[in-house]
Structure 1
Amino acid sequence: MKRTGKGMIPFWDYIGIEETLLEKGYAELKITIQPQLLQGRGTVHGGVIATLIDAAVGSAVRSSLSEAESASTVELKVNYTRPGIGEYLVAKSTLSHRGKTLAVGEVKIEDSSGKLVALGSATYMIFSAKKA
């Protein structure tokens, strides 16, 4: 199973996303809330939450890929339920479908007190390496 690490996804490093658990078809990611991630009212910017949803589904998808496969986001859906506040956010993602060319995952994002901040889903296209 392919793993991420420091430097594997530079954007994750830049905003502070950490992959804390990865199992086949399941991933948990954590992001510590820092001032640079906030919008004008002092809560986590919606774009950060959307990024966390995309990243969490991406990890769950990656856990299902063979060495000859890769994947890319083709659709993303976010439902914001409450402001992102506290010390950190945790995204828990499960694959609900893994076909030959498409994978669909669902995500719940909770704050550090366990309150639901957002629900999301994403669809990924699966690519197979072409044989020479």
Structure 2
Amino acid sequence: MSETPSDDDIDSALAASLDEHGLFEWLDLDIEAAEPGRIVFSLPFDEKFANLASGTVHGGVTATIIDTASGFALRLTFDDPAAARLTTTDLNVRYVRPARDDLRVEASVVRAGGTMGYTESTVTTVHEGERKTVATGGTSYRLFRHD
């Protein structure tokens, strides 16, 4: 009988995934919170993420962190999140306002079935002294639970 990974083991494995993957390392994402079906990442602002003319965070970076957080939230519905296999099938991003500061993305699983999973995400930043929504998004994923 196999032993179920502990929450600390899962957190360590997910953090290692972020550190070892080139894109995630480049983004410098940090896990703020993780629980089954929900994850929160923070992304420190960096000039390399900025649009040339406006200095605001590029929309592609925002879309990437929505996709990434959604995938990790779905991973947390697997018995072994660090070994989970899945792939994005749809990504929808709704941009609300520009961001010129650190970003925070929270992704929650709406449904995680046997072969498909769905999430909703919110990206926020501090804008004029208050935390405000930058973008919202929804994803669908193909889940490979039994392959």
Same fold, TM-score > 0.5, yes or no:
yes
Q: Which runs of 5+ in 1 are unaligned?
A: none
Partner of 1:124: 141
Give the letter for the 2:97 counterpart.
Answer: R
- Cα displacement (A) at 1:129: 4.5
Report the aligned-residue RMSD: 1.5
Which shows bigger deviation, 37-46 or 61-70?
61-70
Greater length-normalized contact order (CA 8 Å, ≥ 6 residues apart): 1
Higher helix proportion (structure 1 or 2) = 2
Q: TM-score, normalised by structure 2?
A: 0.81
Partner of 2:6: none
For 2:122 and 2:99, locate their aligned partners in 1 and report how far apart those are by CA, in whole Å.
Answer: 13
Which shows bigger deviation, 121-130 or 42-51?
121-130
Partner of 1:95: 109
For 2:90 and 2:68, locate their aligned partners in 1 and report how far apart those are by CA, in whole Å.
Answer: 13
CA contact (8 A) 2:69 2:105 kept: yes
Identical amino acids, percent of aligned pairs: 26
Q: How many residues align?
A: 129
Higher strand proportion (structure 1 or 2) = 1
Partner of 2:45: 33
Describe the SS at the equivalent of 1:7: helix
Describe the SS at the equivalent of 2:14: coil
Q: Which has the larger radius of gyration?
A: 2
CA contact (8 A) 1:69 1:129 kept: no
- 2:74 pairs, out of 61, 73, 89, with 61
- Cα displacement (A) at 1:3: 1.9
